[in-house]
Structure formats: C-alpha cells, structure tokens
Amino acid sequence: MDEYGNTGEGRVARRDEAVRAAVEQGLLGPDSPIVGLLDVTGIRESAAELRAAFAEVTAPGTPVLHAFAVKATPLVPVLRLLREEGIGAEVASPGELALARAAGLSPAETVLDSPAKTPAELREALALGIAVNADNPQELDRIDGLVRSAVSRSPLGIRVNPQVGGGSIGATSTATATSKFGVALRDEGAREWVVCAYLDRPWLSRLHAHTGSQGIPLSLMAQGVAETYALAEEINRRIGRPQIDTVDIGGGLPVNFASDVTAPTYAEYARALREAVPGLFDGRYGLVTEFGRSLLAKHGTIVARVEYAKSAGGRAVAVTHAGVQVATRTVYVPGSWPLRITAYDGKGRPKSGPEVVQDVAGPACFAGDLLAEGRALPLLDQGDYAAALDTGAYYFAHHYAYNSLARPGIYGFVPDRPGGVRFATVRDPQTLASIVAESGGAHAGALTTLHAPGSR
Ligand SMILES: *Cc1c(COP(=O)(O)O)cnc(C)c1O
C-alpha cells in the first residue's frame, strides 16, 4: 500500500478484464499466441501524478518540462498519448527523434541527449530548435561551430556525471567513476573546465545530469541532483548572472517489480528532492525531467499462450510464446530483472488452484530462454495464458530478433460499458513478409553473384 492507501487494485482489475476481453475478442488465441497490452487509463494517471508531484514542490510559474525518455517505450501512439497529458520527449537517436516528430511533439517539447551525436544530428537539432545537452568537450566543439554559423533557438547545456556512485545494477548506473556519459566532474581539472566552458559561452543556459536508472536508491538520485545544482550555483556565481536558467535532472525513478503497488511515487521523489535541494525549487531555475520506466512499466502486460505443458526431471515446464524476444533483459540477466508472472486459463480468466513450482519458458531455441525459473504458480496447462507483468517499458517495445520471432501486436485498452473492454491497435503484429524483407530478402542473390576478380 502506498501513502494514499493505493494497492494498485484498479490496475489489477483493469488488467484482468483486458486479458479476458483479448481472448474473447480474438486478439489472443491459437493463431495469435502473444500480445502486448497497454493500460491507457493507467498511463494517463501516471502522467498526471508526475505533473502534480512537481507542481506541488516548485514555486508558482516555474517552467517545468517533463520529457519522457523515448527509449523506455518507443511507440508513436504512446508518445502522442503522453503529449496529450502534457509530457514531452527525451530522444537519444535519429530514430527516437523521428518517432517524437511523428507523434506531433514540437521542438520546444523535445530534448536530445545521446552520447554519440553525429554532426548531422546536431545540425538538425539546432536547426529545429531542439534542446541539446553536449556530452563531452569534442561535442561542445561541434556545437561551437554550428552556433557560429547559424542562429538557433535551441536551449543548450552540458551533461555532467556527478560521479556519486552506482546502484544495485551496473548496466543502469550512469554516475559511477568511469561511466561513459557526460563530463566526469570529479576528474582532475574537469570542474574548472566546465565552469570555463560556461564563462566562454553566454549561450550555454542549461546543466544536465542523469544519475542512473533501475537500481539507484532515491538518496543517491537526490545526491546526484544536489551536486548538479551546486555546480549550477557555482557557475552562475562565477559569471555574476543567472546564465544557467534550467537544470535537467534526468529520470531514473525505480519501479517496484515485486507487487502492484507504485513505489516510490513521484510525489515522494519530488518531496525528497525539495528537502535535499531546496534552492532548486525556489523559482530561480526551470526544470527538465526525463522519466521513462516509471511512467510506463506498470501499464504494460505481455500475455502469451501456453503451447505445451510438459515435465522434465520432475519440473513442470510451460512452453509459452514469450521469451527472450520480448523480455531480453530478464532472460539474459534474470537476477537483476525478475518479472512477476500470473496465470490465466484458456478463457483468459485468472487461474486459481494449488501453486506448483514450474518453469515458464519462451519459444526460442536455447535452454536459458525462461521468463521465470522455479516459480510457484497455479499449474499452467496447454491452452492457458501466462502474463508477464510490469512490461510496459523496456520489454515488448524492445524486440530482439532471435530465431526470427515476429514482433507481437500491441494493443491499448480502456474499460468500456457495460463491463467490457475497448482496444486500439498501437502496433500491428509483424508479418512474415516483413521479417523476410528486414533479413535481406530483396538481396537474396547478393552473395552468390559477388566474386573476387579472377576467381571462377
Ligand atoms: C535512460 C535515460 C533516462 C530514463 O531513465 P528511466 O530509468 O527509464 O527513467 C533519462 N535520461 C537519460 C539521459 C537516459 O539515458
């Protein structure tokens, strides 16, 4: 239960209804054995909670841009939905920028942050007026050239790594001593270099840090923000005017994958930040946030049919259609990324009955392709469905093409009268023709007709 007495009951009820309706309406079945489902009501609620949490802690009139980290759920209809809820986009590649633009996001609602921006990407971003955070001195050199040659409305800043340390998952810890992101602030001479970079460039008006994602404790995230704020204050003091007018605090709020409760909440994080860094909220600085996982994870569910139920070495094994292609992190690094699994019967109704320790396996041809190993659940039978919960971010929208398994269809849902569910297609299931095309189908003879001079 969270501080509002919220146990996630509404979300569970909506999810159960959606699974049943997906089977009833034929979105799920023997011929479409896997889908991704998105709870539109839940997404809207999370977006509203985010905005309210920061509205509560900021001085009236403070400009705040919540830019959704597109990498978490790179789906155009999701970006459009978030935009309608007042949320912008943080993009980190030409593809993500194209998705944001396709969703109708304006340059003023967009922030570009990637660690490997090409000159062409930078030129496009500055021509459009999109905010850019330079990752390193070489990138700042490139931006210098662009700023000299053309007028740009882009708010520009530098990304720093406060080097406050890592969390429980190395791969998502971005503020370690040797992280590849940003200017490593505690390295010798680095802080002075950053200060001088701002002194020399009156057009640098933002400062950015993202301390990490899943696995970072709130206290460490707050420490990262505090270090960034202290640097902004130091720079403005040295320059003698508030040149830095906006601090981008990144994203990274961790998600509770252990139950349906949302914890920590945006409200808790915003209050913790105001406590730790009161000066950031007194109205002198605008804010940018870049949350990804915490906005979408709990609103997505992968549902997969049990094709076969078998037994091996005394272990029950349900062979389903969801595995490494939709849950790549969980399959390869199960210790860091465990997912809850729920069992539904062949009609999509929650399954009850005694729990049996079983493996929930995927369809890919390697032994480690398991969604869950040794998990106690009502025994999954052939024709039942297994649902992988909290998979709305970094899961089914991140298809991994192992075994040429098709990308599943993704459907958004809302409750409908009376007691029904209404679905909308977010992404069509991938066709076999598309798999062939993406696998060089148009170049079938390319290699057999390629010969070195003089051979054959
Ligand atoms: C990945 C990333 C985010 C989003 O992180 P979440 O943990 O999904 O909130 C935000 N900012 C940057 C720069 C990132 O790389």
Peptide bond into 363 cis (omega under 30): no
> What would the mean pLDDT of 154-163 be, rounded to a whole number?
96
Peptide bond into 264 cis (omega under 30): yes
Instruction: Return residue ranges of the chain for CATH 3.20.20.10.
Output: 41-296
The pLDDT assigned to 281 comes to 98
Q: How many C-beta atoms lie closer than 10 Å to residue 119's C-beta?
A: 12
The pLDDT assigned to 3 comes to 47
What global pTM score does this model have?
Answer: 0.96
Residue 160 alpha carbon to ligand 1 centre in Å: 14
Probe ligand 1: pick from 290, 295, 299, max atoms within 8 Å of CB? Answer: 290
Helix (H/G/I), strand (E/B), else coil: 170? helix
Q: Is the pLDDT of residue 167 over 90?
A: no
Instruction: Return residue ranges of the chain for CATH 2.40.37.10.
Output: 9-38+298-438
Reported confidence tier of residue 417, pLDDT bands at 50, 70, 90: confident
Contact 215, 252 (CB under 8 A): no
Q: What percent of the chain has pLDDT over 90?
A: 91
Q: Compute the mean pLDDT over every residue in the chain, rounded to the nearest whole number.
A: 96
Contact 23, 385 (CB under 8 A): yes
Q: Specify the DSSP class assigned to residue 173.
A: B
Residue 130 alpha carbon to ligand 1 centre in Å: 18
Residue 20 alpha carbon to ligand 1 centre in Å: 33
* Secondary-structure class of domain 9-38+298-438 per CATH: mainly beta
Probe ligand 1: pick from 206, 213, 293, max atoms within 8 Å of CB? Answer: 213
> What would the mean pLDDT of 282-289 be, rounded to a whole number?
98
Q: Is the pLDDT of residue 213 over 90?
A: no
Q: What percent of the chain has pLDDT over 70?
A: 98
Reported confidence tier of residue 168, pLDDT bands at 50, 70, 90: confident
Q: Is the pLDDT of residue 286 over 80?
A: yes
Picking from 108, 32, 38, the residue whose alpha carbon sits closest to that of residue 72 is: 38
Contact 362, 334 (CB under 8 A): no
Helix (H/G/I), strand (E/B), else coil: 98? helix
> What would the mean pLDDT of 254-276 be, rounded to a whole number?
96
Structure tokens at 158: 């530098």
Residue 383 alpha carbon to ligand 1 centre in Å: 38
Q: Is the pLDDT of residue 61 over 90?
A: yes
Residues 6+ apart with CB under 8 A from 335: none
Q: Is the pLDDT of residue 5 over 60?
A: no
pLDDT digits (tens, 9 = 90+) for 432-456: 999 999 999 999 999 999 999 987 6
Contact 145, 123 (CB under 8 A): no
Reported confidence tier of residue 1, pLDDT bands at 50, 70, 90: very low
The pLDDT assigned to 418 comes to 83
Parallel, antiparallel or unpaired: strands 204-208 and 246-248: parallel
Q: Which residues line ligand 1 (CB under 6 A)?
A: 69, 71-72, 90, 113, 210, 213-214, 250-253, 290-294
Contact 330, 338 (CB under 8 A): yes
Reported confidence tier of residue 6, pLDDT bands at 50, 70, 90: low
> From 3.40.50.2300, 3.30.300.130, 3.40.1500.10, 3.20.20.10, which CATH number describes the 41-296 domain?
3.20.20.10
pLDDT digits (tens, 9 = 90+) for 176-206: 888 889 999 999 999 999 999 999 999 999 9
